[in-house]
Structure 1
């Protein structure tokens, strides 16, 4: 028997009503909002540079070979840097006379280099940070060709002042969500739920006819119909005892009695918003008169729900991902839960910059990104699975769940963005009249 009792829930749970399809603003308004959020982010740069002892931050890229950071500072209607685009962030001291931050040059003739060095001579920074970190992807976006060009054209004096950009400076620049993003993230999250609820229903799934790939492409079509896209294609699979935790789908034919799993991410790219969700469904054995899922499946979902609670009880801003992971593993051991956590931030990317709590192949410690700090104004995806052996059988399944949260400073806790799955999605292929007869029998 598991050594835990169900605790009080930290926030909103499984919603009582079905999710609704909710429109996002027109694209023009989405672009306006994204540019507004970008400007808020850029306004924080001088203070970040000062915090991390950096005088200048230089970003250089060319068309279709952009720096990772460029996506966070671009105009919402720009798909790629134009020609060679160079940005110089600075601490806005009087030596530049209130110059824009960043200073930007766009050129394809080579005239950019004397203009840049002229500004450097005027500003005279002690350090110039480049995005060349060998371990953190968000801090390593400078392409090798651009690095060589900088080394060739900057001159010895400025090359000697080049340093690797501080990791946490990049994370603090890219990770936090701006005021106003939260409202629209909630709308996007409800759409993600609505798509799952429709896909995992008898309207879409016909046992013995529908395959998991059919469900995947139904979801893609529905996403597109909402003027949204994906950063992670829906991967639908049948949960089996031998299935390793992963993200591949399958081409399996769906039958009654199957447990279905989906993992996918919905994106509103103009607003730089991305969800990440994993849910489970059960296909009733309707031909045998089954009206509810087996008790063992309900219990298994309950165990993974408890793991979610443990993470939210443990995880606090300022902790590193590895500190959180260690405490979760300790709590799971105390309560007799077997499973694994591999949670991550959400931001301008589905796998956003910031502290990771575990990896599928790194269950106890994650180098580099596991040692980053959790930020309070970052959306976070609680991703995990629990092992559970079904009652009266030797069958052990992985109950894989993923749900998104945000930090609520007034309450000092994380809350689910749209709730969390506490009930299996039920696919009932019984004819409508049989469902009604069954309901009458249950009521009587």
Structure 2
């Protein structure tokens, strides 16, 4: 949505709700039919109880529903006319057609009456394959609770033989982004980058006084003041000459240490707005007295990180699995002598989103299950990785330059959401 991309965020809550509901309508019309065909599922049942929701459920509910209401059962039926969204719920569910009311069967308890309505709908639809959200590989596609699964199978009787895991459908639904959503992600990432730039500035950081923890809490407070939520607690860490990394990965400077001149600062932050998430890592250098630039060794480390980004983006080819992308990126990095790790992930409705895992920091040879899922177009990722690089000005001490940047993959290729970091922020 171009207007969202060009306007400041966050938008007023009412306008956000209107946008989210419009996106849902478009997704049900334009995205879901193809995903159901790809997964070979004729009827998708998404079921959750209040405060024990299926993770998929929130992506299907009206924006004004902040949770399920009692037991909410959504049925999405694929037919020649598209997808018919139906709800067996005590309360109206937005644009879903009502399929049940507690008054429909006075002689039955509301629970039995509700499940009977689901059975009737299944009989009328006569689906060949009924998808339910059970998955070993993806937590986000494993939202059907044990109790709901038992009650569903009991209610369906012989129709329960047609139940199949909806893993591919649930993941596809969660990972696929509309062009308007990608445009909004550009704006949300720009806001995230702006907050980081403000945090890594003399307005916030006073060398010798401000701690890394102070900066992390400033970022969280800034999000709150702007009217957006973090989806995780921001973190700020330090690297310093004479304080080598612990185990080649962890900074040896305490998380609440006072920032000093000559320090390398790193942050990891992410916000939530419009039902979408960002996940960003950036780096800054605190100038020493008389310095006007960061040491060349630190700038070279950032260039190495950018190169690993280039190699990973080049490997991100639709149809490849996450493990294949990881292997290709790491092989290319090895050929060029780049010492780094790749651990990128989908992002969108959830921060660590559904879709192919492209490594994990502790799994550089591949990720079982989620790493075997293929890359699709119209998806978004947090391009997350790190390099280790010697800094001559620090006596050859190696630093870990960690970067995380939003990207979108469309039929036209990969685009950076807002812009990636290519220069250290100077304080």
Tell me the TM-score normalised to structure 1 length: 0.85
Distance apart, 1:23 and its partner CA = 2.8
Q: Distance in 1 between matches of 2:203 and 2:196?
A: 12
Q: Which residue of 2 aligns with 1:36?
A: 22
- The reply on whether 1:242 has 2:226 as its aligned counterpart is no
Distance apart, 1:50 and its partner CA = 3.0
Q: Which residue of 2 aligns with 1:76?
A: 63
Aligned residue runs from structure 1 range 200-219, under 5 A: 200-219=200-219
Distance apart, 1:249 and its partner CA = 8.2
- The reply on whether 1:59 has 2:46 as its aligned counterpart is yes
Q: Distance in 2 between matches of 1:362 and 1:211?
A: 32
Q: Which residue of 1 aligns with 2:313?
A: 312
Q: Which residue of 2 aligns with 1:406?
A: 408
Aligned residue runs from structure 1 range 338-353, under 5 A: 338-353=339-354
Aligned residue runs from structure 1 range 17-416, under 5 A: 22-43=8-29, 44-92=31-79, 100-106=84-90, 108-155=110-157, 157-165=158-166, 167-239=167-239, 241-243=244-246, 245=249, 250-268=255-273, 271-286=274-289, 289-391=290-392, 393-409=395-411, 412-416=412-416
Mean alpha-carbon deviation: is it higher for 78-87 or for 178-187? Answer: 178-187
| Superposed CA offset, 1:371-398 (max 9, x none) | 1111211111111111101126231111
Q: Which residue of 2 aligns with 1:10?
A: none
**Partner SS for 2:89:** strand
| Superposed CA offset, 1:275-321 (max 9, x none) | 111011111112xx222211111111111111111111221222211
**Partner SS for 1:233:** coil
Q: Distance in 2 between matches of 1:47 and 1:257?
A: 54
**Partner SS for 1:150:** helix
Q: Distance in 1 between matches of 2:58 and 2:236?
A: 30
| Aligned 8 A contact 2:47 2:57 in 1 | no
Q: Distance in 2 between matches of 1:332 and 1:111?
A: 60
Q: Distance in 2 between matches of 1:130 and 1:42?
A: 18
| Aligned 8 A contact 1:345 1:380 in 2 | yes
The change in CA–CA distance for 1:231 and 1:112 in structure 2 (over 3 A counts) is same
| Coordinate RMSD, CA, aligned | 2.2
Q: Please list every run of 5 or more consecutive structure 2 residues that lacks an aligned counterpart in the other structure.
A: 1-5, 91-101, 103-109
The change in CA–CA distance for 1:48 and 1:185 in structure 2 (over 3 A counts) is closer
Q: Distance in 2 between matches of 1:190 and 1:257?
A: 27
| Superposed CA offset, 1:40-98 (max 9, x none) | 2222334433332222221221111111110110110111111111111212369xxx9
Q: Distance in 2 between matches of 1:172 and 1:79?
A: 23
Q: Which residue of 2 aligns with 1:16?
A: none
Q: Which has the higher contact order (CA 8 A, sep 6+)?
A: 1
Q: Distance in 2 between matches of 1:376 and 1:245?
A: 32
| Superposed CA offset, 1:383-434 (max 9, x none) | 111110112623111110111112353xx3212111111111111xxxxxxx
Q: Please list every run of 5 or more consecutive structure 1 residues that lacks an aligned counterpart in the other structure.
A: 1-19, 428-444
| Superposed CA offset, 1:152-187 (max 9, x none) | 3332x022222222x322222121112312222211
The change in CA–CA distance for 1:408 and 1:59 in structure 2 (over 3 A counts) is closer
| Aligned 8 A contact 2:236 2:268 in 1 | yes
The change in CA–CA distance for 1:190 and 1:246 in structure 2 (over 3 A counts) is farther
Distance apart, 1:246 and its partner CA = 6.6
Q: Distance in 1 between matches of 2:425 and 2:150?
A: 54
| Aligned 8 A contact 2:88 2:117 in 1 | no
**Partner SS for 1:257:** coil
Q: Distance in 1 between matches of 2:164 and 2:254?
A: 43
